[in-house]
Structure 1
Amino acid sequence: MEQQIAFRYPLRGPGRGQILLIGNGLEYKSGQRSWEELVRDLTLPEKRGMGEAQHLPFPLRYELLSTPFQVPNPMERRDILQEERRLAKAMKKMVHTSNPLLEQLPELHMDHVFTTNYSYCLEHAFFPRRSFEKRGTRSKFRFDLREASEKEGKKREVQYRLHTGYWFPDPDRPQGTALWHIHGESSVPQGIILGHDRYGRLLARIVGCCQEIGKRAAGAEGELPFFSWPSLFLFGDVYILGFGFDECEFDLWWLLRRKQREHNGDGKVYFYDKPPFDPQRKTRHLLLEANGAEIRTAGADAATDYDDFYAAAIRDIGRTVEERRRPAEEDKA
């Protein structure tokens, strides 16, 4: 049974949505498998040892290594199903346990947490007594923000979860926290965003979400309802932690640029990274700054332990979120 909830925020000023975006960096302490291990699982036997594929962006490398040499054109349904079965088998190896870093996230009382991870490590941090590997648990906490008229006659979102997530009823904050798997989740292999084709199809839908909220935002005053995670990203404050923002994540790079050009909103983006910065990371920082992001180190330096860096970054995010909320909450009091 899906939760019937709504998210309403002003487009500008205090009270806008506070969003944490996390990546695989926060799951390493859970013993999570790396992207390279996932690629090895999905590589066909005849393509193992293709060292020349290493330079390719991850989504294209996946397409190359998971596609047979003699694939027909157009692909047969059988080939597509075999690829989906291999992906489902690989997803069963994902780790679904929390860790001390993830367990600090509920204390931030964020409005939303976006994750590019496929596992349920995040959910186990918020719901330590629940098993999100079970369908019944997922159904209990799932929400779908599509309006009733849009959902009528349609199936539950599977392949592209733009409007669907899990709602954590925060006892200290009635609004709760929404947890979003923006690139899919392991229990639904056909919804995993991994290859170049899937990234492209997702981006087309993100563009549609931004066009929808853009039309409603033009000339609007006060609060607006938000129905998708891309629209929340567009107008909220976004804090990025444990996510490298690799150049291949072109759906999020597009969304970051679109956010920078949104004149109806004033949400900020903060990217947390630990020194020292090699030339590649420095270049990425310049690209992030060119797209409106602020680089933060949370006071860390080259000698800072990674656990200490993450803990400091989480504290810094908490302070900033509190500052962003204070004026609006005082007005409502």
Structure 2
Amino acid sequence: MKNPILLIGNDINNISKGQSWKDLLNDIVNFCLPDGCIQLDDRKPFPLLYEEVFLTAIRQTRISETELKTFIARKVQVIAQNEVHEAIRDIAPAHILTTNYEFSLEGVSPSQHDSLINERVFSIFRRYKVGPTFYWHIHGDCLNPLSINLGFEHYGGQLQQMRNYVVSGTTYTSRQAPKQSLVQRVKNGETLRDDSWLDFFFTRDIHIFGLSLDFVETDLWWLLTYRARQKFQRNTIPVKNALYYYIPAEFVQSARFKIDMLTANDVKVIDIAAPDKQSYYQAVLKRIRSL
């Protein structure tokens, strides 16, 4: 496939040596609450754990959220590139959507954004251009710490902005931002201009990998569900594109519950067997090139 559209998560960074996600969680807790009064527990959904840490810290140490997110931005900026990042750039994607905050995928830190409007907190239009590729940081980026989407409150606000853009229409003051909803514009026969990463979920094929799609990702699960309802229930606009989700074959059995939900939401699941993580991602990219 020439110039594909990709949605990429944090797992590709796990090939790089250095700080893991668990290390980052420990660092966040220690930065906010050095007395160790918060216990990490896998049963706590991360957006709510973030709220627990921040709300406890704001009462005890008077820390501001700007301070906390600036600390997190500095931490993720040091994530090193690896061969998978380079291989992704080599296939020259037209667009890369990512939940990652840092710029390992770009290979460089962009000097300025290429977004339709300059967003301070949420990420409906957040776009950078490096080489031939547009990069969309859909959960914020480390150059704009307040945009980093971590807590339950931020997820709720992001979802509100997403639903406005797709369903009911936006309230942005900028003249450049479309006021009518995506659904209404498509229904009216308007040509979409790739203003937002949300456009692609209804119009273009997307290949998703390196993204666990945990159920705490309420914004993305809402988007998948709304798209499927639009296609099979409402039929207000035509939805003819395909979404592909790649998963290592070794995880298929343990992830059956998630695969069933993806399938119900019209996502095509592709399992790939490989001896290690790096080989797996090389195989994913080979498969995408061959389509």
State the TM-score, normalizing by the size of structure 1. Answer: 0.73
- The alignment status of 1:290 with 2:264, answered yes or no, reads yes
Q: CA deviation at 1:29?
A: 2.3
Q: CA deviation at 1:230?
A: 1.4
The corresponding residue for 2:151 is: 195
- The runs of at least 4 consecutive aligned structure 1 residues that moved more than 3 Å come to 46-49, 69-72
- The alignment status of 1:276 with 2:238, answered yes or no, reads no
1:126-185, CA deviations, whole angstroms, 9 ceiling, x for partnerless residues? xxxxx41xxxx422xx21225xxxxxxxxx212113113111333xxxxxx210111011
User: 1:21–1:113: 8 Å Cα contact kept in structure 2?
Assistant: yes
- The alignment status of 1:138 with 2:111, answered yes or no, reads yes
* Residues 1:18 and 1:98: Cα distance change in structure 2 (over 3 Å): same
- The alignment status of 1:251 with 2:219, answered yes or no, reads yes
State the TM-score, normalizing by the size of structure 2. Answer: 0.83
Alpha-carbon distance in 1 for matches of 2:252, 2:289: 28
The corresponding residue for 2:53 is: 65
The corresponding residue for 2:39 is: 50
Identical residues among aligned pairs (%): 28
1:206-240, CA deviations, whole angstroms, 9 ceiling, x for partnerless residues? 1111121100101527x432311112223221111
Q: CA deviation at 1:18?
A: 4.1
Larger radius of gyration: 1
How many residues align structurally?
A: 268
Q: CA deviation at 1:296?
A: 0.6
Alignment of 1:95-106 (within 5 A): 95-106=78-89
* Unaligned 5+ runs, structure 1: 1-14, 73-77, 125-130, 147-155, 171-176, 321-333
* Residues 1:232 and 1:71: Cα distance change in structure 2 (over 3 Å): same
- The alignment status of 1:228 with 2:182, answered yes or no, reads no
SS in 1 for 2:251: coil
User: 1:42–1:66: 8 Å Cα contact kept in structure 2?
Assistant: no
Q: CA deviation at 1:41?
A: 1.8
Q: CA deviation at 1:48?
A: 4.2
Letter in 1 for 2:183: G
* Residues 1:69 and 1:86: Cα distance change in structure 2 (over 3 Å): closer
Alpha-carbon distance in 2 for matches of 1:261, 1:112: 25
Compare relative contact order (CA 8 Å, sep 6+) and give the higher one, 1 or 2. Answer: 1
Alpha-carbon distance in 2 for matches of 1:55, 1:286: 22
Alpha-carbon distance in 2 for matches of 1:54, 1:22: 23
Alignment of 1:31-42 (within 5 A): 31=17, 33-42=19-28
Aligned partner of 2:228 among 260, 281, 300: 260
Letter in 2 for 1:213: L
Alpha-carbon distance in 1 for matches of 2:200, 2:252: 32
User: 2:58–2:64: 8 Å Cα contact kept in structure 1?
Assistant: no
